[in-house]
Structure 1
Amino acid sequence: MDHSTPATKHKYLRHAPLAAILIVAAIGAFTLREHLSFDVLRENREALLAFRDSHFIAMVAAFIGLYFVIVAFSLPGAAVASVTGGFLFGLALGTTFNVLAASLGAFAIFWAARAGLGKTLAARMEASEGTLQKINTGLRENEISVLFLLRLVPAVPFFVANLLPALVGVKFRNFAITTSLGIIPGALVFTWIGVGLGEVFDRGGSPDLSLLWEPQVIGPLLGLSALAALPIVIKALRGMKGH
């Protein structure tokens, strides 16, 4: 007999979306890496370009849908997808589609985490005392700045920047705004690489993603990160003066 109560069943069901994402992510890490690669893109580029030219709307929908699934389930191939956006659609449209798909995928992870584990952890943080309460208060006071930092600092994995905010109870509105705006600089770089991808393939080469760490690219990103951190620093200094 099933002695579980409706409340218990609901509790487990709340964790199902995040559990599904983690399971699919784990499976995808071992099974899809070779299928979502620049080599596969090189082999199929003529067919992709032909389909784009004859069925543009369908290609846009398929691209955004596939990119959404990659991000929502944290599958390997996000960098390949971003570069492909530039290759297929150019800098302006490619960046737009990349940002749209990545943002929607990030929103999906956020809600999956918030519905289950995030709700439990956020409630515990609200009821906590001492150091944890100070961290929670500091996060609330600097939510926008912290979220922008998560997006702009290149060392923070995209999956972490999607999952962590949901687990600590940030407002979805702030998460959505900082995600949609904060990923634009990185999306521009990846899309720009994709715009010249045809010439790279013609030379028999592969995209050089080390461009992300060149001074002319990493410099502005670090500058934006410092700008996002500035309100936190100012509040901290004011607090020190107050004491």
Structure 2
Amino acid sequence: MTDPKQTSTWRARLPLIAVIVIAAIGAFALRDYLSFEALRENREALLAFRDENYLLTALAFVTAYIAIVAFSLPGATPATLTGGFLFGLFPGALFNVLGATIGAVLIFLAVRTGLGKGLAAKIDASDGRVKRMTQAIRDNGASVLFSMRLVPVLPFFVANIIPALIGVRTSVFALTTFFGIIPGGIVYTWVGVGLGEVFARGETPNLGIIFEPHILGPLLGLAALSFLPTLVKSIRKEPKA
């Protein structure tokens, strides 16, 4: 007789298994289709289709972006630039941020359902540095996660998985993701707006623009400001001499 607990465990892990399988297949099968070269070759057809079917193009774009993020498929950066190329700075940036946020929440839920709760319980039952670190993130989740999104030091998919493994609330994850990726999303969407001219010159877009001082500086400033509540809280908790 089948153990109901084991059946329930496998059902909970099915979304995560689907993500892993599709990500593995997509890494090889879709690499050539989700690239700047593919966009360069098909840009005229995409623009023509957008002009004839704007709403359908917008819906298809956001859906594709959600799938790219949710399944950790290659092509997230080309997709972001495509948003600017097809729809301009606005609503292109909005489409990019919405697609990235919804996709991030989906993979967050898949990981948390499949692994997160059990792993979070083990961390809570443990002692030492790992427990203290995860508890600090939970206590100051919004500011830490917001800073992680503002300054993209970690790969995007890693920043989606870590909060799921330590039990961050879905609402906190979703809000910090949405608002935290807006500045970077605007920068890359803006690069995408000029993609047609870049392709016409036979060049490739400058993907390192977000790390240039005049852009990275304000992002670091915002990240520092987001840590102020955590700093104030820690000062208040310090024991008096």
Indicate the TM-score class for this superposition, using the shorter chain for normalisation.
Answer: over 0.9
- Name structure 1 gaps, 5 residues minimum: none
Amino acid aligned to 1:185: P
- What secondary structure sits across from 1:155 in the alignment? coil
Query: Cα RMSD between the aligned structures?
Result: 1.6
Residue 111 to residue 49, structure 1, CA distance change in 2 (3 Å): same
Amino acid aligned to 2:181: I
With the length of structure 2 as denominator, give the TM-score of the two structures. 0.94
From 211, 234, 237, the equivalent of 1:236 is 234
- 2:78 is aligned with 1:80: yes
From 164, 169, 180, the equivalent of 1:171 is 169
Q: Which residue of 2 aligns with 1:140?
A: 138
Q: Which residue of 2 aligns with 1:62?
A: 60
Residue 242 to residue 121, structure 1, CA distance change in 2 (3 Å): farther
Q: Which residue of 2 aligns with 1:205?
A: 203
- 2:157 is aligned with 1:159: yes
- What secondary structure sits across from 2:227 in the alignment? helix
Deviations along 1:60-89, whole A, 9 cap, x unmatched?
111011111100000110000000000000
Q: Which residue of 2 aligns with 1:108?
A: 106
Measured after TM superposition, the shift of residue 192 of structure 1 is 0.1
Q: Which residue of 2 aligns with 1:34?
A: 32
Deviations along 1:89-118, whole A, 9 cap, x unmatched?
000100010011111100100110111101
Cα distance in 2 between the residues matched to 1:138 and 1:197: 42
Measured after TM superposition, the shift of residue 241 of structure 1 is 4.8
Runs (4+) off by over 4 Å:
none
Measured after TM superposition, the shift of residue 125 of structure 1 is 2.7
Q: Which residue of 1 aligns with 2:179?
A: 181
Measured after TM superposition, the shift of residue 186 of structure 1 is 0.8
- What secondary structure sits across from 2:94 in the alignment? helix
Amino acid aligned to 1:116: G
Q: Which moved more, 1:79-88 or 1:28-37?
A: 28-37
Cα distance in 1 between the residues matched to 2:128 and 2:42: 57
Q: Which moved more, 1:215-224 or 1:72-81?
A: 215-224
Cα distance in 1 between the residues matched to 2:3 and 2:240: 52
Residue 132 to residue 205, structure 1, CA distance change in 2 (3 Å): closer
Q: Which moved more, 1:49-58 or 1:31-40?
A: 31-40
- What secondary structure sits across from 2:88 in the alignment? helix
Residue 211 to residue 130, structure 1, CA distance change in 2 (3 Å): closer
Deviations along 1:197-224, whole A, 9 cap, x unmatched?
1111111112111212111111111111
Q: Which moved more, 1:112-121 or 1:13-22?
A: 13-22
How many percent identity over aligned positions? 54
Measured after TM superposition, the shift of residue 34 of structure 1 is 1.9
Cα distance in 1 between the residues matched to 2:126 and 2:49: 56
Q: Which residue of 2 aligns with 1:6?
A: 4
From 191, 194, 204, the equivalent of 2:192 is 194
Cα distance in 1 between the residues matched to 2:137 and 2:211: 29
Cα distance in 1 between the residues matched to 2:130 and 2:201: 55
Q: Which residue of 1 aligns with 2:118?
A: 120
Q: Which moved more, 1:145-154 or 1:183-192?
A: 145-154
With the length of structure 1 as denominator, give the TM-score of the two structures. 0.93
**Total equivalences in the alignment:** 241
